[in-house]
Amino acid sequence: MERLNKIMAELLLGIDIGTSACKVAVFDRLGKVVAQTNKPYKLYYPNPGWVEQNPDEWWDAIVNGIKEILDVVSANDIAGIGIDGQSWSAIPVDKAGNCLHNTPIWMDTRARDICDRILNEVGFDNIFDVAGNGFEPSYSTPKMLWFKENKPEVYNNTYKFLQSNSYIAMKLTGEFTQDLSQGYGIHFFNMKKCCYDETLADKLGLSVDKVPNLTECHAVIGEVIEEAAKITGLMAGTKVVAGGLDAACGTLGAGVYMKGQTQEQGGQAGGMSICLDEAVAHPKLILSPHVVPDHWLLQGGTVGGGGVLRWFKSELGEGESFDDLTFLAEKVSPGSDGVTFLPYMAGERSPIWNPDAKGVFYGIGFDKTKGHIVRAALEGVAYSLEHNLRTAAETGVEVDELSAMGGAANSLLWTQIKADVTGKIIKVPASDTATTLGAAILAGVGVGIYNSFEEAVKDTIQITRVHKPNMENYQKYKKSMDLYLELYDNLKDTFSKY
């Protein structure tokens, strides 16, 4: 790549630690992508229900991504760095910052028995009243307990348990941090007060000493140290902010920063994030602080998102492109003529919280085509979104429109299906860059390029498409949604048996 001419020294670097790959992107102050790259890494499945990643492989991928970026952009022009990452890591590191073990990631359910025991010993209400979230094996807390009980040599040598973004921030700055938006994965994090609860930590058998001090997501935590500068090519002294949860950064990058605005996620995973100005919890949903101060996100997080179509293309697509598959689906009528898909490809998170749930195609017959199967897969993901929105409505939180992000938002058909299933208007900003842009905005606010989050969103977010729901299709999808819910209800006991 040819080096660009000298650019004003207000460029911002955003790093996104996704499930299947990291994205590294540089933006100007108006949110335009100056350079970006994507570097994959592995997932490991050492035992049934276990899903791990090696944080040092994240770091290697990020280093390579930054080097590639710096073939285009001068390191001197980067004013600040923001990092976002996947949720619910539990990365054990020693005092020198060495990673002591692979981290179980958000899909990992190895701590199921621990969750059952803790709920019996401590009680759901005692945990929920503090954390604002259920005690499920996907979260960080049960994983920390798993290390304590199953890998005591690792646990005893652990100085701090880090999250995905705080691990990379530590590699860049040498600082151990815990941003507020990722605090929700730790159940002794008091959701309303945004501080640790030592009493609950003790009841859970853990200590607040095992996690870093809390910090605002846009706060500058340090500067790129000499060692990291030599490895990456970044300038030593470049400021780094704490960063935050990928879904929260993506929410900001989609322009959602005020009460009532809502993001729809179409990355590897799916779901939604509703912005609130108070901590409103639901036991079947996920509540976290937003990366924007004094705001929270009521979230629905599903296993089935863009990864569903990626899986179908890989295993059953016979060399077809995503466009080829969605073209086939477009020929099929709404509701897929009764073919229904449950997108529980690795169990399911909200709102059913069932690690035993399985992916299911229902209604297949000799009269059905590949197009039926593909469209049913797209619709199944949309049904899971609607399921979460209906659950949020039980708290009195209503949504009028959604801002879409993630690779799935590039599909006009898939986005329209989601609009028709939910009956909501869906707006699409620059979907591929929302998450890294959100991380970059945090850096921009932190280093003073933007005076406020409002200014940052106004300057950087542009809506590219608007999908209005087809209300005739919406009425059809109501019946399909009933079937979707009935199928799960009838199969949930079977899921647990086999």
Which residues span the domain enclosing 142?
A: 11-245
Which of 245, 276, 300 corresponds to the end of one domain? 245
Nearest of 11, 14, 60, 12 to residue 433 by alpha carbon: 14
Which of 201, 218, 245 corresponds to the end of one domain? 245
Identify the pLDDT of residue 9: 63
Count the domains in the chain: 2
Q: Residue 378 in contact with residue 414, Cβ under 8 Å?
A: yes
Q: Residue 33 in contact with residue 100, Cβ under 8 Å?
A: no
On whether residue 455 sits in a domain, the answer given is no
182 and 302 in a common domain:
no
Q: How confident is the model over 3-16, as pLDDT tens digits? A: 444 445 689 999 99
Q: Is the pLDDT of residue 260 over 80?
A: yes
Give me the CATH number covering residue 112.
3.30.420.40
483 and 343 in a common domain:
yes
Sorted by sequence, the CB contacts under 8 Å of residue 497 that are 6+ apart come out as: none
Mean pLDDT score across all residues of the chain = 95
pLDDT, average across residues 21-43: 96
Cα–Cα distance between 27 and 431 in angstroms, integer? Answer: 14
Residue 106 pLDDT class (50, 70, 90 cuts): very high
Q: How confident is the model over 111-130, as pLDDT tens digits? A: 999 999 999 999 999 999 99
Residues, the chain: 498
Token pair belonging to 82: 């923001």
Q: Give the orientation angle of helix 112-122 with respect to helix 140-150, to 10 degrees.
A: 100
On whether residue 457 sits in a domain, the answer given is no
222 and 272 in a common domain:
no
Which of 192, 215, 245 corresponds to the end of one domain? 245
On whether residue 5 sits in a domain, the answer given is no
Sorted by sequence, the CB contacts under 8 Å of residue 16 that are 6+ apart come out as: 22, 23, 24, 25, 83, 84, 85, 246, 249, 435, 436, 439
On whether residue 439 sits in a domain, the answer given is no
230 and 115 in a common domain:
yes
Q: Residue 255 in contact with residue 403, Cβ under 8 Å?
A: yes
Q: Residue 272 in contact with residue 384, Cβ under 8 Å?
A: no
Q: Is the pLDDT of residue 441 over 50?
A: yes
Q: Is the pLDDT of residue 431 over 70?
A: no
- Residue 48: asked if its preceding bond is cis (omega within 30°), the reply is no
Q: Is the pLDDT of residue 161 over 90?
A: yes
Q: How confident is the model over 272-319, as pLDDT tens digits? A: 999 999 999 999 999 999 999 999 999 999 999 999 999 999 999 989
Q: Is the pLDDT of residue 430 over 80?
A: no
Quote the radius of gyration of the chain (alpha carbons, Å): 22
